[in-house]
Structure 1
């Protein structure tokens, strides 16, 4: 399983546990902290993938042209 999918699955499990509401406050806070870290990892993976994506841009004459997908820094 790829890193993104693995992190996302872990994050989904954390959310499910938190939604059950059966954990102590301390355990809930630990899981929440882990979830925030996993969320940041997933965002970083998505940002990296986004930089590699190319978009098809329709030209005035109806043809399409490949252009790099703009990244957050552009």
Structure 2
């Protein structure tokens, strides 16, 4: 399981979401032994956190769109996570 955990940061959002959906399906099936269910739940939580972090970063980038004097988007600014505003 530790080897799988290290792969999450390298996954795309779509890959992580697909795997998370698979984890949920397996847990909902009720056919997984308890110990494996716990491992799956932990893996699912790590995948959820990774997906949420990517969504938060995307939202922050969207919010950094610069508006021109006419109120229309005039460009973008890079989002600085260390100094968000």
TM-score by length of 1: 0.71
Equivalent residue in structure 2 for 1:5, among 8, 11, 14: 14
RMSD (Å) for aligned C-alpha atoms:
2.5
In the alignment of these two chains, the number of paired residues is 64
TM-score by length of 2: 0.63
For structure 2, the 5+ residue unaligned runs are 1-10, 77-83
| Higher share of residues assigned strand | 1
Distance (whole Å) between structure 2 residues aligned to residue 6 and residue 23 of structure 1: 22
Where in structure 1 do 4 or more consecutive aligned residues deviate above 3 Å?
A: 63-66
Note the alpha carbon deviations across 1:6-56, whole angstroms, 9 max, x for none.
00000000000000000100000000000000000000000000011147x
